[in-house]
Chain A
Amino acid sequence: MKKLVVVGNGMAGVACVEHILQQPHEFDITIFGDETHANYNRILLSMVLAGEKSAEDIVLNDVEWYRSNGIQARLGVRIEQIDRSERVAIDSEGCATRFDKLILATGSSAFIPPIAGVDKKNVHVFRTLDDARELIAKARQGSKAVVIGGGLLGLEAARGLQLRGCEVSVVHLMDTLMERQLDATGGGFLQRKIESLGIRVFLPKHTQALLGNGRVEGLRFASGEEIDAELVVIAAGIKPNVELGRKAGLEVRRGIVVNDYMQTSDPDIFAVGECTEHRGQTFGLVAPLMEQGQVLAAAITGNAGRVFTGTAPAAKLKIMGVEIFSAGSIDESEPGLETVRYEDPALGIYKKLLLKDNRLRGVILVGDTSDERRYTQWLRDDTDLAPHRKHLLFPPPAADAGLEVAEMPDSEVICGCNGVRKGAIIQAIHQHGIKTLDQLKERTRASSSCGSCTGLCQQLLRAVAPEFQEKTRTTLCACVPFSYEQLREIVRGQQLKSVQEVLNVYGNRKGCEVCKPALSYMLDMIWCGGHDEDRSARFINDRVHANIQKDGSFSVVPRMRGGVTSPAELRRIADVAEKYNVRMVKVTGSQRIDLLGVKKADLPRVWADLGMPSGQAYTKGVRMVKTCVGTEFCRFGVQDSTRAGIELERRLENLFTPHKVKMGAVGCPRNCAEATVKDIGMVGQEGSWQVVVGGAAGKSVRKADLLITVETTAEALEACELFFQYYRENANYLERTYDFVERLGIETIRKATVYAPETEKNWLLERLQRSKAIAKDAWMERDAPVHPTQFVPIHAIGQMETLEAKR
């Protein structure tokens, strides 16, 4: 076996090894990486900083991957020297590793401009996971952070720090932001958008010195102006790591020089990634590096065929809500160029295409990047645009949504991050019987990085996979166009505490009757009541804790646990009904009593006179547990369903849920309280309980699925609690359990609840307890209204005066 040594455990090096593994090869592979982490997705560090992803989320290949592929991973070990005559790589511990072939994948480092004082404390760069962690540790609420550099990386770092609570400024040397990707107009649009997020922008500003005594305290610009800073991030560019190659005597200019097969000046030594220079070009984005890796893998395994010809640069800003895309050459000085542009300052949309001889040369999109893929394709294929001239900026409406993928050639790259072509995806789908997007990601890596090709992958799956299982990612509504999962991540990661905050940052600022209540629920659930409760975001029922009727009056359903009441309670109900002229008193379908037709202004007094807690009949919350008489009275009863049902209701009452939760407990399988068509049901059997979930007898009728059978009442109650909390945390708003259980499948739910490891179960129960600890009977607002006019009607001052005058 021949020895292959790879120096650099980053994105390009490991991607290249993955391609080698897919070919027949005879290598015994060792990878050295001076970072201590297994291979991760550097691109997503911005999202880690912003709190949108965790370190675990961005792992590309975990330790098990190295093991199962027979690769020796030497993590935290740096190669210091390469001895070409002895064919050994010498590491930081002084050990020599022999090689037959070597790949340099050392990437690049942050470029630190010559500014006085860059060695002060709290001055950082942003390149590695460790950098991200340090920044997270130092970013404090309200502290002043300054990012030097207004390029892609600088802006992403700035937004990340801002979402961590810092007051952020960006200082840029040039006249406009992202000047390498945008023209002056585009840069201006971007600047306004960035400023509207609350980030200050200083331009053009040459930073002359970092001030402070040991610890950084500010910046001084060449103009003499000074600004405060407690934390500084330098994002002023990158420089390829070429030292190792230079010392080894390889040809090095700005990068390590490689030919079209990614070979350096030594035929046994290859290089890939940001450390390379190909035909005078160096690199700073992953798409071309993935292509390099494929070419290198073919060449080093003796299958050289394809050559690397360089790729037109394409860049996209990864800040949610700030859409920026730029590709190709944006240099307008070339003679014979035509420009086509569109500007809508109010919407912040700017599009510009540079054409030459009816071919696309470059594209800039600000504010709306939905057509990014069309332009990338035109650039790559050098498409003759004569037939498309009328639709350059706005595509003709597509007749068939699947057409886009159907029209692509097999050689078209779908996932730019990982260089996965349409043909390869189709092959994988057939070969491995892929059914879901997750399986596709696992097999091909397509859509596993930045995610911008997810839609296309989904289209392909839909068109090709015989058993495609769509994971429905319903977006909440047009006001906040994100899925529930995404929103939960956003709210948690970015510590958003009020509906208006979510709408301001991720939505249209207004919100509507669909998203406002949904977001209210989500915030309450995630922050366990520690959110800013905003009643204007709630449906009227949840503002006054009663159910609005067709005439604008309200109905009142007090809690009557397990459907059990008492003579004293019935007397009070009767008195209240008379005193407030209740139009109808009715036994409900849920084993309790409804007082219909109560005026809003009377609600607080009605509740006080009843002296019973709210039955939550008006809200998305815990309704009731219907019970039967069970062992106490029934000659067939084998479990004490009345007592168990009352206990279940006590444990869960006053909690809110994605949709209403109705429960039942019955003493034997005769099922007199219909527990098997409830959201959660307990069905008594001789010596055991069956816990069933996802039942319904409303708009749809569905028999509940068996969650688990357990011996004791305590275990049965716990199973109910586990399912209940899991539903609260994972269902979409307004998704009843009958849809939730069908969507996830009962097996998944069992694994996540009753069959979950003890620790996970305990966490679920603990979170439930935390919610329960702060849950209150909403009707107590009768004594402490959230607003003086919550129930009390407004009388016009002017009218009162005239009344008085008349008297």
Chain B
Amino acid sequence: MSESNWTPITRTENIPAHEGRSVQIGGLELAIFNLGDRFVTIENQCPHKGGPLCDGIVSGAEVVCPLHGWRFDLNTGLAVRASLAACVTTFPTRVADGIVLVDAGRGRRIEPEAAVA
């Protein structure tokens, strides 16, 4: 297991409640969402045709891609409709002293087949 490496991203108030914002860390483009009571991070590219997930509408703990409406669970990264075998990587996220921190080195990806089994 790789070591944790938290990157401070931005002040919490820079991401409004129930919206997302994109950020570049190293070579990665991530989407960070403010769910009202906590922050979560996923990769920003929709596996369908690369839509910017940070611009999607948040529905509970899910986000809807603004281009063609694919929907992802922000906790697991899995596409919500089980018939759709797709997923995005999720990243550990926490808040300290009013700053959102993301550990870009410990992305987690649940391959949908594994979830179905």
Contact = CB atoms under 8 A, between A and B. Distances in A.
18 contacts: A510-B59, A535-B16, A535-B19, A536-B19, A536-B57, A538-B57, A539-B57, A540-B66, A548-B55, A552-B50, A788-B14, A793-B21, A793-B22, A794-B22, A794-B32, A795-B23, A796-B23, A799-B7
Interface in B54-113: 55-60, 64, 66-67, 69, 99, 102
Contact of A548 (B66, B69, B99): B66
**Closest A-B pairs by Cβ, 6 of them:** A510-B60, A536-B18, A798-B7, A540-B55, A552-B52, A512-B59
Interface in A761-793: 787-789, 793
A319 to B, nearest CB: 25
Given A537-B57, A798-B7, A798-B8, A789 B21 contact: yes
A328 interface: no
Nearest to B101: A798
Interface of A: 479, 509-513, 516-517, 534-540, 543, 548, 550-552, 787-789, 793-799
Given A548-B52, A794-B10, A797-B99, 14 more contacts: A511-B59, A513-B57, A536-B18, A537-B18, A538-B57, A552-B55, A788-B13, A793-B22, A793-B23, A794-B23, A794-B32, A796-B24, A796-B102, A797-B9
A506 to B, nearest CB: 16
B8 A513 contact: no
A787 B16 contact: yes
Interface in B14-41: 14-19, 21-26, 32
B46 to A, nearest CB: 10
Contacts of B14: 788-789, 794
Contact of B21 (A512, A539, A550, A794): A794
B56 A540 contact: yes
B69 A513 contact: yes
Size category of the B interface is 20 to 34
A601 to B, nearest CB: 11
Interface of A, secondary structure class, is loop
A500 to B, nearest CB: 9
Interface of B: 7-10, 13-19, 21-26, 32, 49-52, 55-60, 64, 66-67, 69, 99, 102
Contacts of A540: 55-56, 66
Contacts of B55: 540, 543, 548, 552
B67 A548 contact: yes
Nearest to A552: B52
Contacts of A509: 60
A799 B64 contact: no
B58 A796 contact: no
Residue among B9, B17, B57 with the highest chain A CB neighbour number at 10 A: B57
A799 B66 contact: no
Contacts of A794: 9-10, 14-15, 21-23, 32
Contacts of A538: 57
A277 to B, nearest CB: 54
Tell which of B49, B66, B102 has the most Cβ of chain A within 10 Å: B66
Contacts of B7: 796, 798-799
Nearest to A538: B57
Contacts of B50: 551-552
Contacts of B49: 550
A512 B23 contact: no
Contacts of B51: 552
Given A789-B14, A796-B23, A550 B67 contact: yes
B8 A796 contact: yes
A788 B99 CA distance: 16
A789 B15 contact: yes
Nearest to A509: B60
A773 B116 CA distance: 55
Nearest to B6: A798
A539 B69 CA distance: 11
Nearest to A796: B9
